[in-house]
């Protein structure tokens, strides 16, 4: 058993209001630079929709992630042979138009225009060429199902839904959507790390954050292809790839990543998970239907004395073990089984988990009218507007049973709380659903509290980074006393 | 004077600058060591330019290297006219491939504003010198046959003499102008490696072939710290 610690996250999709505050917070800190304007390390997509970059989930186009070739786990579009062979031209690389061409507006013109008959306007200007341009797409072009003919209908996750099921989703009365905020998953089996020929991408042992060494990156571009979530971005100006760094300078000083700190809906949770690194390969190679369950098995119970001993043996700090015990992620993922990884079929073992949305199941269409009253208070999960199959394509590699259980648990919590606060439901209407998912009242209350009324310190449990000890081994701290900042001081000028 | 300058001075200057400059740039300006790929801005035309250009040059580079390292074997191979013809035609083919690749790459660069924006002054130098090198090479191959054979008798001794610090330029001094241009631009190319994107060929990722796929870096040696009974910290982790 090789126990390591990993900073992981839970996003509660029922709470996401799609305000993009997270994206803006991230952009302002990290990607508001030349060459990085198009990058959204954090982005929020409307589902159904094609996402950003367009159709990123379709690995027939982008060849991201891992696949099983016989008994071997191999990279789909990169790897040692394919990577070196395609170095001179990578056939599976998305280009900037798959994301969007970044632009600004010519605001000065509003002030400096010559006097004339017309109102001056601020025309859009490309941030790459500086020429006038007509924006044709953007990172959230299909926000709130806009242009759903072009975008939502082309969602890759519809692939195994019947035409009838698809049509049903787009009937005006049944139309439904939810938001999907995405950052780098800091995977346990990262495809970007495996695909990098220079060895510039690495996973930090202490907290599992995946980073790109800007000095070692040589622009071979394989990480962009290999990451199935398209969360490694190529900076066209500096000729280096960049990605979400989970705000590690903030984490190391005990602060929350900017996207999570600024989250208006408070949908984000962050905490430590202990996992067994010896099992990574076996779990990543298991049959598709078992992927979710097997991945959840890899995370260990931080209260188990055996696990604690093994963790100590492996050099994990007491503070980290303590943080793992308080981790909200552990509760959502392991204890309550409410959160699932996004697209586990890519086999990267992502560490960002989503509580799937319990979309409005209250109202349904009957005899052509929009019926909001029904016999039972909430409609059944099976009658959900969003087909369970669709959610299964997103969060459980097509396994509908897994999603159903999670949704039933979420429903049981709601029924229980309705009973506590209003008490207008018949006894069996509350107890039966709770019995079905074997949930007691205390658990339901605990889920409710962490979902609806969590304190800042409940949502985010950051272990001490012990960076001070680490630094002392790398360099004499006296040398850098009185200095500030981190990293190297070279300006990000394009190489010769 | 002319010959001394270009065939003794230039090679040593170029090799020295290449060695010192590349190491200096690698160690001190790691951020600037990059292949500066523009595929992200334009991919379709890059395919037709980059692939033939790189594969062509790669073959020619190793061809020159083999002729320099094993002149006897090359001569032996060439002892049969058919084999000589095959070698020359294949090499010429790769030369043409590199030429067309370069041509398409230059056209592509000029065609798209996006690519002009990311080009720098040294890129123009790179294009010019590559064009001179490839065209003069094709010129020699076509008009001064059969290069693969006379290379062994004239060029190999010259280059060897450079490397053993007893430069002998008698043979190259008598060469036609096209060959002289080819040599001069060749050494110039080596000399400008640290100042141009040429540096990317020195950092070709061979280590990827034998390294394991996953790569984990530890900031500190966690086990040593955890078990240490000493008051001072443990040792610096090896992977840093």
Asked whether residue A42 is assigned to any structural domain, the reply reads: yes
Shortest Cα–Cα distance, B134 to chain A (Å) = 19
Q: Which of A197, A469, A496 sits opposite B196 (nearest CB)?
A: A496
ipTM field: 0.88
DSSP string, A179-224: EEEE-----SS-HHHHH-TT--EEEETTT--EEE-TTT-----HHH
Q: Is the domain of A432 the same as that of A289? A: yes
Q: Which of A95, A130, A220 sits opposite B35 (nearest CB)?
A: A220
Q: Is the domain of A276 the same as that of A175? A: no
Contact state of A80 with B40 under an 8 Å Cβ cutoff: no
Residues in chain B within 8 Å Cβ distance of A488: 31
Q: Give the domain range for residue B22.
A: 2-207
Q: How many CA atoms lie within 13 A of B26 on its CB side?
A: 14
> CA-to-CA distance for A299 and A309, rounded, in angstroms?
15
User: Which H or E run includes A83?
Assistant: helix A80-85
| 3 state DSSP class of A121 | coil
Asked whether residue B188 is assigned to any structural domain, the reply reads: yes
Residues in chain A within 8 Å Cβ distance of B32: 490, 493, 495-496
Asked whether residue B171 is assigned to any structural domain, the reply reads: yes
The pLDDT value given to residue B147: 82
Q: Which of B30, B120, B217 sits opposite A215 (nearest CB)?
A: B30
Q: Is the domain of A170 the same as that of A315? A: no
Q: What is the DSSP letter of A425?
A: S
B205 touches chain A (CB under 8 A): yes
Residues in chain A within 8 Å Cβ distance of B216: 202-205
Distances (CA, A) of A96 to A38, A465, B117: 8, 36, 15
Q: Is the domain of A123 the same as that of A228? A: yes
Beta bridge partners of A341: A353
Contact state of B222 with A205 under an 8 Å Cβ cutoff: yes
Contact state of A315 with B195 under an 8 Å Cβ cutoff: no
Asked whether residue A322 is assigned to any structural domain, the reply reads: yes
Q: Is the domain of A165 the same as that of A233? A: yes
Asked whether residue B230 is assigned to any structural domain, the reply reads: no
Asked whether residue A412 is assigned to any structural domain, the reply reads: yes
The pLDDT value given to residue A362: 55
CATH of the domain at B81: 1.20.950.20
Q: Which of B50, B53, B240 sits opposite A474 (nearest CB)?
A: B240
Shortest Cα–Cα distance, A442 to chain B (Å) = 38
B220 touches chain A (CB under 8 A): yes
| Nearest residue to B212 (alpha-carbon basis) of A270, A79, A170 | A79
Contact state of A205 with B226 under an 8 Å Cβ cutoff: no
B237 touches chain A (CB under 8 A): yes
Interface with chain A: mutation pick from B38, B219, B233, highest number of A CBs within 10 Å = B219
Asked whether residue A447 is assigned to any structural domain, the reply reads: yes
| Structural domains of chain A, count | 2
Asked whether residue B119 is assigned to any structural domain, the reply reads: yes
Whether residue A407 contacts residue A442, with contact meaning beta carbons closer than 8 Å, is answered with no
Q: Is the domain of A431 the same as that of A350? A: yes
Q: Is the domain of A93 the same as that of A193? A: yes
Q: Is the domain of A183 the same as that of A327? A: no
Asked whether residue B220 is assigned to any structural domain, the reply reads: no
Asked whether residue B33 is assigned to any structural domain, the reply reads: yes
| Structural domains of chain B, count | 1
Contact state of B51 with A88 under an 8 Å Cβ cutoff: yes
Asked whether residue A2 is assigned to any structural domain, the reply reads: no
Residues in chain B within 8 Å Cβ distance of A221: 37, 39-40
Q: Is the domain of A272 the same as that of A227? A: no
Contact state of B226 with A217 under an 8 Å Cβ cutoff: no
Which of A203, A235, A259 terminates a domain? The answer is A259
pLDDT in tens, chain A (496 residues): 899 999 999 999 999 999 999 999 999 999 998 999 999 999 999 988 899 999 999 999 999 999 999 889 999 999 999 999 999 999 999 999 999 999 999 999 999 999 999 999 999 999 999 999 999 888 888 898 887 777 888 888 888 888 877 877 777 666 788 999 999 999 999 999 999 999 999 999 888 999 999 989 999 999 999 999 999 999 999 999 999 999 998 998 889 999 999 999 999 999 999 999 999 999 999 999 999 999 999 999 999 999 999 999 888 889 999 999 999 999 999 999 999 999 999 999 999 999 999 876 555 556 666 565 555 666 677 767 778 889 999 999 989 999 999 999 999 999 999 999 998 888 888 899 899 999 999 999 999 999 999 999 999 999 987 766 656 555 555 665 666 655 556 666 776 5
Q: Give the domain range for residue A347.
A: 264-459
Interface with chain A: mutation pick from B41, B53, B213, highest number of A CBs within 10 Å = B213
Distances (CA, A) of B101 to A317, B15, B65: 56, 27, 22
Asked whether residue B159 is assigned to any structural domain, the reply reads: yes
The pLDDT value given to residue A177: 86
Q: Is the domain of A268 the same as that of A255? A: no
| 3 state DSSP class of A75 | strand
The pLDDT value given to residue A429: 85
Could you tell me how many residues make up chain B? 240
Give the burial string for A222-239 (b: 16+ CB within 10 Å, else e): bbbbbbbbbbbbbbbbbb
Q: Is the domain of A404 the same as that of A310? A: yes
Q: Which residue of A has its CA nearest to B222?
A: A315
CATH of the domain at A397: 3.30.70.20
Q: What is the DSSP letter of B196?
A: S
DSSP string, A332-355: IIIIS---EES-GGG-S--SEEEE
Which tens digits make up the pLDDT trace of A79-103? Answer: 999 999 999 999 999 999 999 999 9
Angle at B78 between CA B75 and CA B80, to 5 degrees: 135
Asked whether residue A431 is assigned to any structural domain, the reply reads: yes
Q: Is the domain of A127 the same as that of A39? A: yes
> CA-to-CA distance for A492 and A485, rounded, in angstroms?
16
> CA-to-CA distance for A411 and A408, rounded, in angstroms?
5
> CA-to-CA distance for A291 and A347, rounded, in angstroms?
8
Asked whether residue A131 is assigned to any structural domain, the reply reads: yes
Taking residue A37's Cβ as centre, other Cβ atoms within 10 Å add up to 20
The pLDDT value given to residue B240: 41
The pLDDT value given to residue B194: 93
Asked whether residue A440 is assigned to any structural domain, the reply reads: yes
């Amino acid at each position: 058993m090789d126990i390591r610690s990993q900073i992981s996250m839970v996003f509660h999709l029922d709470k996401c209001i799609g305000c993009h505050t997270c994206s803006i917070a991230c952009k302002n800190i990290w990607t508001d630079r030349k060459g990085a304007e198009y990058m959204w390390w954090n982005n929020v997509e409307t589902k159904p929709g094609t996402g950003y970059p367009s159709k990123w989930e379709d690995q027939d186009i982008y060849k991201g992630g891992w696949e099983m070739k016989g008994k071997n786990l191999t990279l789909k579009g990169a790897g040692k042979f394919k990577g070196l062979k395609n170095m001179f031209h990578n056939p599976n690389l998305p280009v900037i138009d798959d994301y969007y061409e970044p632009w600004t507006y010519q605001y000065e013109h509003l002030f400096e225009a010559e006097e004339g008959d017309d109102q001056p306007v601020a025309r859009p200007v490309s941030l790459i060429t500086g020429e006038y341009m007509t924006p044709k797409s953007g990172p959230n072009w299909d926000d709130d199902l806009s242009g759903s003919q072009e975008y939502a209908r082309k969602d890759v996750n519809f692939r195994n839904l019947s035409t009838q099921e698809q049509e049903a989703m787009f009937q005006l009365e049944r139309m439904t959507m939810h938001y999907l905020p995405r950052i780098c998953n800091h995977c346990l089996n990262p495809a970007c790390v495996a695909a990098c020929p220079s060895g510039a991408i690495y996973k930090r042992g202490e907290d599992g954050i995946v980073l790109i060494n800007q000095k070692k990156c040589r622009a071979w571009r394989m990480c962009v292809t290999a990451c199935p979530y398209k969360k490694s971005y190529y900076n066209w100006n500096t000729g280096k790839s960049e990605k979400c760094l989970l705000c590690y300078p903030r984490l190391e000083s005990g602060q929350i990543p900017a996207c999570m700190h600024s989250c208006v809906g408070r949908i984000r949770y962050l905490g430590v998970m202990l996992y067994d690194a010896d099992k990574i390969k076996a779990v990543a190679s298991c049959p598709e239907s078992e992927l979710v369950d097997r991945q959840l098995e890899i995370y260990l119970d931080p209260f188990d004395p055996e696990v604690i001993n093994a963790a100590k043996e492996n050099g994990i700090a007491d503070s980290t073990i303590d943080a793992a015990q308080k981790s909200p992620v552990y509760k959502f993922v392991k204890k309550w089984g409410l959160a699932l990884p996004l697209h586990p079929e890519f086999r990267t073992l992502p560490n960002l988990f989503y509580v799937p949305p319990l979309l409005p199941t209250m109202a349904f269409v009957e005899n052509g009218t929009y019926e909001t009253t029904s016999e039972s208070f909430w409609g059944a999960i099976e009658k959900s507007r969003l087909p369970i199959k669709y959610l299964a394509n997103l969060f459980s590699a097509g396994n509908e049973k897994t999603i159903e259980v999670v949704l039933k648990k979420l429903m049981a919590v709601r029924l229980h709380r309705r009973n506590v606060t209003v008490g207008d439901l018949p006894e069996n209407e509350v107890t039966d659903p709770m019995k079905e998912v074997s949930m007691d009242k205390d658990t339901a209350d605990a889920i409710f509290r962490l979902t609806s009324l969590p304190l800042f310190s409940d949502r985010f449990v950051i272990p001490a980074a012990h960076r001070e000890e680490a630094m002392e081994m790398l360099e004499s701290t006296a040398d850098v006393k009185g200095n500030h900042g981190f990293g190297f001081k070279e300006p990000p000028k394009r190489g010769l | 004077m002319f010959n001394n300058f270009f065939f003794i001075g230039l090679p040593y200057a170029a090799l020295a600058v290449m060695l010192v400059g590349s190491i200096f740039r690698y160690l001190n300006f790691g951020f600037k060591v990059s292949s500066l790929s523009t595929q992200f801005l334009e991919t379709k035309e890059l395919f037709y330019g980059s692939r033939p250009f790189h594969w062509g040059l790669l073959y020619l580079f190793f061809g020159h290297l083999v002729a320099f390292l094993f002149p006897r074997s090359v001569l032996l191979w060439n002892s049969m006219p058919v084999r000589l013809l095959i070698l020359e035609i294949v090499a010429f083919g790769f030369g043409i491939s590199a030429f067309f690749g370069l041509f398409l790459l230059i056209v592509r660069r000029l065609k798209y504003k996006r690519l002009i924006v990311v080009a720098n002054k040294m890129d123009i130098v790179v294009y010019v010198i590559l064009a001179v090198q490839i065209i003069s090479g094709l010129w020699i191959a076509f008009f001064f046959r059969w290069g693969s054979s006379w290379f062994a008798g004239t060029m190999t001794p010259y280059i060897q003499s450079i490397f053993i610090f007893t430069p002998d330029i008698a043979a190259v001094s008598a060469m036609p102008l096209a060959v002289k241009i080819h040599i001069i631009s060749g050494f110039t190319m080596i000399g400008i490696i640290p100042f141009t994107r040429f540096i990317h060929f020195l950092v070709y990722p061979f280590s990827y072939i034998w390294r394991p796929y996953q790569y984990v870096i530890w900031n500190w040696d966690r086990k040593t710290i955890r078990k240490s009974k000493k008051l001072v910290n443990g040792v610096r982790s090896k992977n840093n």
